[in-house]
């Protein structure tokens, strides 16, 4: 049986790889790639897969190996990149993550509205790596919940 991983989906420059590295307890250099990357605990989906809707089928297929899907929205740049109801494509739990929550606080409502339009239900996690906000709560939710 295959190991279930956490799939991380988000637009370019939203903090996806930084989050993936944190979930994998990896402290090495960041690198961009056009391919899906299967890490110790994660599946990192390149933003190109989101930007081209014809590639959604690849995201959905890869999600068969996922225990959870994290859908990221960037509070510093909350352009709507996801299709309406996108989260309903997945059979596993989908969790909304607002990255860069320390930047442009007036965009938080836009991000929350976007997550709802995508079809993501609460809980939502607000994360800021420079401020050290939210990552521990997300890790606890993802990793300790499965151990109960």
- The CATH number given to whatever domain includes residue 76 is 3.40.50.300
Could you tell me the two tokens for 28?
């090495």
Domain of residue 35, residue span: 5-145
Number of domains in the chain: 1
- CA–CA distance, 140 with 54 (Å, rounded to integer): 34
pTM of the model: 0.93
Q: Which helix (H) or strand (E) holds 5?
A: strand 5-9
> What is the tens place of the pLDDT at every residue in 89-102?
999 999 999 999 99
pLDDT tens-place string over residues 117-146: 999 999 999 999 999 999 999 999 999 865
Q: How far is CA 91 from CA 8, 34, 62, in A?
A: 15, 25, 12
What's the CA gap between 78 and 58, in Å, rounded?
A: 24
CB distance 129 to 15 below 8 Å = yes
Other C-beta atoms closer than 10 Å to the C-beta of 117 total 15
């Amino acid at each position: 049986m295959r190991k279930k991983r956490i799939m991380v989906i988000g637009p370019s420059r939203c903090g996806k790889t930084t989050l993936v590295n944190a979930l994998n307890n990896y402290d090495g250099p960041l690198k961009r790639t056009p391919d899906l990357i299967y890490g110790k605990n994660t599946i990192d989906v390149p933003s190109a897969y989101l930007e081209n809707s014809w590639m959604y089928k690849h995201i959905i297929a890869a999600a068969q190996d996922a225990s959870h899907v994290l859908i990221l929205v960037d509070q510093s740049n909350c352009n709507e990149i996801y299709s309406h109801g996108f989260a309903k494509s997945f059979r596993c739990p989908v969790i909304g993550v607002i990255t860069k929550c320390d930047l442009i606080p007036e965009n938080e409502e836009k991000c929350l509205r976007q997550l709802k339009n995508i079809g993501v239900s609460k809980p939502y996690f607000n994360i800021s790596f420079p401020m050290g906000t939210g990552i521990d709560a997300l890790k606890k939710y993802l990793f300790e919940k499965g151990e109960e």
